Amino acid sequence: MLSDLTKSLNRVTRSISPENFTGEKGMGGKATEGTGKDASRDLGIGWKVSPSIMIEPQQHYTLAEIEGPGKIRHIWMTCFPKYWRELILEIYWEGEEKPAVCVPYGDFFCCGWNERVNVNSLPVVVNPAGGMNTYWEMPFQKKAKIIVKSLATEAFPFYYQIDYSLEEVEECRYFSAYWNRNNPVAYKGTHTLLPKISEAGHYVGTYLAWQVNNNGWWGEGEIKFYLDGDEAFPTICGTGTEDYFGGAWNFEQPLGKYCSYSTMYMGLPQVIRPDDLYQSQQRFGMYRWHVQDPITFSEDIAITIQALGWYSDGRYLPLKDDISSTVFLYLTKPAFELSRDFNRDELEVI
């Protein structure tokens, strides 16, 4: 504890928000224009004049540009749930043209269905009524940039605060995140969480937004990690979907019911059940953080998961479910080779 406090004396703490767009020392709360101008008209400067920004349709905004070396240590954001799949979060390291993080906003914070669920984990925390927090440590040597891109057709307010430290960074592994969707998964096919990438690093997290398109149990599929030259068969092979997320026996508790849970490293916080009118398929959100058990690789990595349920006579049934995945990892390179642009159709929550 004492050594950590001693180290912290060599850090400079800064924070970027709409009340201090640059994070500069002594520049917070000086706004004379902003979304709170009318509300603060009787109070004047220093009284919450600029608490948020307006995200215009089909536009992108640079939330932060930080000169290093340093580490992003905490991010808080919030906006209306309607836009959580139509807002893309991108993070760039060291002045690269390609982002290392390129993920829909809601999925990044474990809310993949445009519906909030409280998450009480170590690196991701979601609080009432839509306060999105991440504590993934994000080091950089020269520069960090955070952008949001809107695919929405209307404007909406967006609130954020990015807390970081300026300090020496001895060894830099770059925080990266990748999103993928199969809607639906091909019959007897698999969902790819991460196509093969040739790089060194360590894998730290999985989030799945899973819609079940069949009756019956759906979570027999195995997750497979192909590491450092693996071809047909993986080095790490799970024993079932609920097993990988730390549950067992269909997440069933009490009898005949799904039991949601959210812990430091794993959880099934979201169980969206059909209503009596318009909703049909059941939807789930689940996470697994490899913080205490990171999966390391020195050459390459690829990850898949099966969509698998039960058929008659005790046989497995390949499923054609709607699966979206977000994976989190630290890589040696500042740009992520799989980054890409999104369109509204592939992101749509139906």
Angle at alpha carbon of residue 193, lines to 318 and 216, rounded to 5°: 30
pLDDT of residue 1: 44
Distances (CA, A) of 312 to 211, 214, 217, 251, 308: 22, 14, 12, 21, 13
Q: What is the pLDDT of residue 278?
A: 87
Q: Cα-flanking dihedrals φ and ψ of residue 307, to 5°?
A: -100, 110
At residue 2, the pLDDT reads 47
Separation CA 66–CA 74 (nearest Å): 14
- Which tokens hold the place of 87? 């807002």
pTM summary value:
0.96
Q: What does CATH list as the number for 52-347?
A: 2.60.120.1390
What pLDDT, on the 0 to 100 scale, is given for residue 7? 65
94 neighbors 70 (Cβ within 8 angstroms): no
Token digits for 54?
A: 């307006």
Phi and psi angles of residue 107, each rounded to the nearest 5 degrees, phi first: -65, -35
**170: how many CB neighbours lie within 10 A of its CB?**
6
Amino acid 219: pLDDT: 97
- What is the DSSP code string of 266-316? EEEEEEE---SSS--S-EEEEEEE-SSS-EEESSEEEEEEE-EEE-GGG-E
Contact at 8 Å (CB) between 289 and 185? no
Could you read off the pLDDT of 258-314 as tens digits, one per residue?
999 999 999 999 999 998 888 888 999 999 999 999 999 999 999 999 999 999 889
CA atoms of 250 and 260, how far apart (whole Å): 11
Name residues of the chain where pLDDT drops below 50.
1-2
Structure-token pair, residue 338:
């799989």
Torsional sign, CA 16, 18, 24, 27:
negative
Residue 234, both tokens: 């993986």
Instruction: Report the b/e string of 326-347 with b at 16+ CB within 10 A.
Output: bbbbbbebbbbeebeebeeeeb
